Chains A and B, each alone.
Chain A
Amino acid sequence: MNVVVTGLGTTSPLGGDVASTWEGALAGRSGVRTLENDWEEKYGIPVTFAGQLVVPPSEVLSRPETKRMDPSAQMAIVAAREAWADAGSPEVDPERLGSIVSSGIGGVWTLLTAWDTVKERGASRVLPLTVPMLMPNSPTAYVSLEFKARAGAHAPVSACASGAEAIGMGFEMIQSGRADIVICGGTEAAIHPLPISAFASMQALSKRNDDPAGASRPYDVSRDGFVMGEGSGVVILESEEHAQARGAKVYARLLGLGMTADAHHIAAPEPNGAGQTRAMELALERAGLTTADISHVNAHATSTPVGDMIEARGIRSLLGAHADQVLLSATKSMTGHLLGGAGALESVFTIKALETRTAPPTINVTEPDPELQVDLVRDAPRALPEGQTAAINNSFGFGGHNVALVFGTV
């Protein structure tokens, strides 16, 4: 069964919707800014910047919605509403409609705020909606509720691969015949002192406090860690048959999926990137494509000293000399790392790249790592080839989760 993409939605550090986010990406804008709060003074957080939403959900949702949902679910609902409307608000049997929206961390704001309440004001002050707000399946459950998706609501959790895994599961949900349409994606709202402190404690974050916009610099020799980001990306996956029957606009095809696990270390990637490369191979195989069909890769590339080059070497070894013709983009240079939302937002970028035949730039690369042997799109967007072509979107997560998605032109 062929699977196509018929709707896109996002709220991101580059904009409150797909149009403004894509426009920001093509312009090479950074969505990373200094945090305007007292966390440094109050808690001594060592990192004082992040990729923050341009349009807070409170500006577009009703007051009760913002009170009943954790910020992670609010962002997912904003992105899902855009994607659903973009798909033409399809008429579909609710029992043939699925929801798979993931979060890497879940309702961390709700959980930690409720714990503050217990400590400061006692257990009786904890609000009754705390559990449905903090549970990591809350975003997918709210999406299911809103669009009456009764074929199943799932939330695969695999750290920073969660959003891509959700899209992968949506692909399989349609291919297995369980659904005609699946609302898929990822979301994260973890710009909170605790996750920042914890990621900083493991030396994962860039500490470029004096240059937030220049901090996320995948493949640059002076990269020093990832930049936290927040937001959500949602794609509407649909069986080609269903999309054709209703005359839907089709952005791209989802052709292949590869998922592997490193089984190597709880946080560090396997040094040779074998699991990552195998995910890309499996995705190509499932898509029935060869490496020559690939013209673009949206890399996981988070701007960490070790991770970026493991992935880049894997891409080179998979594609061989053809890597010289493949345009590599690392969009986290502009958005920061949306953790569980990353794979979904980057799928939106990959799909837009194929639709518009334009690979977005990778900003802040002043001196590329000398080992990099893939054609990196720097500073300005570049054109993808005409005719049938395909692109890979990679996402990897702490725990050794590797997900590769292959999208193709219509």
Chain B
Amino acid sequence: MALSKDEVLAGLAEIVSEETDIDTAEVTLDKSFTDDLDIDSLSMMTIVTLAEEKFDVRIPDEKVKDLVTVDDAVSYITEAQA
């Protein structure tokens, strides 16, 4: 069953928080992974790998560079589930 965008955001925020100690409330759609959340490329790949498993979607490596903001990732995952 596909999750809503809000549900994906909540799930993604949990993953980000587990990996970085950033509070889930800080992980909002407008935030940039690198500029606002200070997530490096290896941590980003970890988050992507965990998100693929959690949401049962495939995020191709070449797509990851386009996921600049939290919104980009949430939208991609929401659509990929549909």
Residues of A whose CB lies within 8 Å of any CB of B are 62-64, 67, 121, 124-129, 132
Contacts and interface: CB of A to CB of B under 8 A. Distances in A.
A169 to B, nearest CB: 29
B79 to A, nearest CB: 19
Given A63-B18, A67-B19, A128 B53 contact: no
Interface of B: 18-21, 42, 45-46, 49-50, 52-53, 58
A125 B57 CA distance: 12
Contacts of B53: 121, 125
Which of A63, A67, A124, A128 counts the most B-chain CB atoms under 10 A from its CB? A128
Contact of B21 (A62, A124, A126, A129): A62
A70 to B, nearest CB: 15
Contact of B52 (A63, A67, A124, A129): A124
B44 to A, nearest CB: 9
Given A64-B21, A124-B58, A128-B42, 4 more contacts: A67-B18, A121-B53, A127-B50, A128-B49
B20 A64 contact: yes
Given A124-B49, A124-B52, A129 B42 contact: yes
5 contacts: A63-B18, A124-B52, A125-B53, A127-B46, A128-B45
Nearest to B45: A128
The 6 closest A-B pairs by CB, nearest first: A128-B45, A64-B21, A128-B42, A128-B46, A127-B46, A62-B21
B49 A127 contact: yes
A338 to B, nearest CB: 30
Contact of B46 (A62, A63, A124, A129): A129
